[in-house]
Amino acid sequence: MTANHGKVNRVVLIGAGSVGVSYAFSLINQGITEELAIIDLFADKALGDVWDLNHGKAFAPSPTNVWLGEYQDCKDADIVCICAGANQKPGETRLDLVEKNMKIFKGIVDDVMESGFDGIFLIATNPVDVLTQAVIEFSGFPAHRVVGSGTTLDSSRLRYKLGEYFDISPKAVHAYIVGEHGDTELPLWSRVTIGPVPLQTYLDNHDDYNAEDLDQIFEEVRDAAYHIIEKKGATFYGIAMSLARITEAILRNENIVLTTSSYLQGQYGAEDVCIGVPSIINRSGIREIIEVPMNEEEQEKFAHSVQTLKSIYEPAMKRI
C-alpha cells in the first residue's frame, strides 16, 4: 500500500479488464474519489494500467492517488467494486456466465472480507443480478450495502435512444428499464416522460412520432450488448460510466434515484431476489427501493423476470 488513509474516499477496484480500467479512467477524469487501488490476478498488467493512469494525472480535475493494490487495502475502502470474472462471448447470454463467475466471486469476497472491509460492495460482473445476490450471501452484509449496476446502463441506453428519436437531450428524457439486466428486462413505458410531459401525451401532440416505433427502440436497447459484442468483442465504456455514476452517488451522499440491482424483500410482490429497480442511492448504499406503479402488462413481465432470476440463482448457489 502506498497511501495514508485519512478523511478521504477510497475505492478498491477488483478486476482490471476492459470494464474495470474504463471505470478507473472515468473515476479519475471526473475526480470522484481521492484514492483508487487496483487489484488484478495479472499484477503486471494492472501495474501498467496504474502507470498509464497516473501519467495523465496533471490533466485530471483532482489528483487521485492510484496504486497497485492488495486485498488488505480493502480494509479502509469505502467501496469495493468487483469487475472481475469471465467475459460474455458472442452468442452467450449473461445468465450463461453464472456458474463460472459465482465460483470466482466466492474467492474474491472471502479475500475482501478477511481484510476487515466494512464499506459497500458495487458489483458489475455478469450476470449482475445473480452475482449481486451471491455477494450478499458470501459476505453476510446487509442487503443495502451490496449494490449491483442492475439496469442503470439499460435505462441510459433507453434515454439515449428516445432522445435520438425525439431529437431532444437524453437528460430531458425520464425513462426506466427494470428487471433482469438481460433478456427479460422491460421498459416502464407507462412512466416515461419527455421533460414533464407523459410519453403518450407527447406522442399524441406530435404527428411525426408514433407509438409503434417504441417496440423497435426497446429491442435495440435490450439487444445492444449483443450487437456491440459482435462488433468489438465486449462492452465497457457505457457500463464504466454507469458504475462511476453510482460511485459518485454513494460517495457524495446524493440520494439520487438509479435503477440498481437491489434486493427485494416484499417490494413489487417479490421476495429474495436481486433485480433492477429504481432505488435511492446515498452514502449508506441503497437507502430505499422505490415501488413504481406498473400497469398489468408491466407487472406480468416483471414477475417473469423475477422468476427467471430465481430459477438461475437458487440451483447455482446450491452447487457452490
In what order do the strands lie in the sheet containing 120-123? 65-68, 35-39, 10-14, 79-82, 120-123, 146-148, 256-265, 271-282, 285-289
Asked whether residue 279 is marked as a ligand-binding residue, the answer is: no
Taking the CA atoms of the chain, what radius of gyration do you get in angstroms?
19
Asked whether residue 115 is marked as a ligand-binding residue, the answer is: no
Element (H, E) at 148: strand 146-148
| Active site residues per annotation | 181
Asked whether residue 285 is marked as a ligand-binding residue, the answer is: no
Taking each helix axis from N to C end, the angle separating 296-318 and 98-114, rounded to the nearest 10 degrees, works out to: 70
Peptide bond into 293 cis (omega under 30): no
Asked whether the beta carbons of 184 and 273 are under 8 A apart, the reply is no
Asked whether residue 198 is marked as a ligand-binding residue, the answer is: no
Asked whether residue 43 is marked as a ligand-binding residue, the answer is: no
Q: What is the C-alpha to C-alpha distance for residues 224 and 219, in angstroms, rounded to an integer? A: 8
Asked whether the beta carbons of 36 and 13 are under 8 A apart, the reply is yes
Asked whether residue 87 is marked as a ligand-binding residue, the answer is: no
Asked whether residue 311 is marked as a ligand-binding residue, the answer is: no
Q: Which cell numbers in the block locate residue 134?
A: 451471491
Asked whether residue 10 is marked as a ligand-binding residue, the answer is: no
Instruction: Supply the DSSP symbol for 190.
Output: G
Q: What is the C-alpha to C-alpha distance for residues 139 and 119, in angstroms, rounded to an integer? A: 11
Asked whether residue 127 is marked as a ligand-binding residue, the answer is: yes
Asked whether residue 20 is marked as a ligand-binding residue, the answer is: yes
Asked whether residue 277 is marked as a ligand-binding residue, the answer is: no
Asked whether residue 76 is marked as a ligand-binding residue, the answer is: no
Q: Which cell numbers in the block locate residue 190?
A: 407507462
Asked whether residue 18 is marked as a ligand-binding residue, the answer is: yes
Asked whether residue 293 is marked as a ligand-binding residue, the answer is: no
Q: Which cell numbers in the block locate residue 58?
A: 496533471
| Residue of 126, 147, 149 lying closest to 136 (CA atoms) | 147
Asked whether residue 157 is marked as a ligand-binding residue, the answer is: yes
- 79: β partners: 11, 120
The alpha carbon dihedral of 252, 253, 254, 260 has a sign of positive
Asked whether residue 145 is marked as a ligand-binding residue, the answer is: no
Binding site membership for substrate: which residues?
A: 88, 94, 126-129, 154-157, 235
Q: Which residues are annotated as a binding site?
A: 15-20, 40, 45, 71, 85-86, 88, 94, 101, 124-129, 149, 154-157, 159, 174, 235
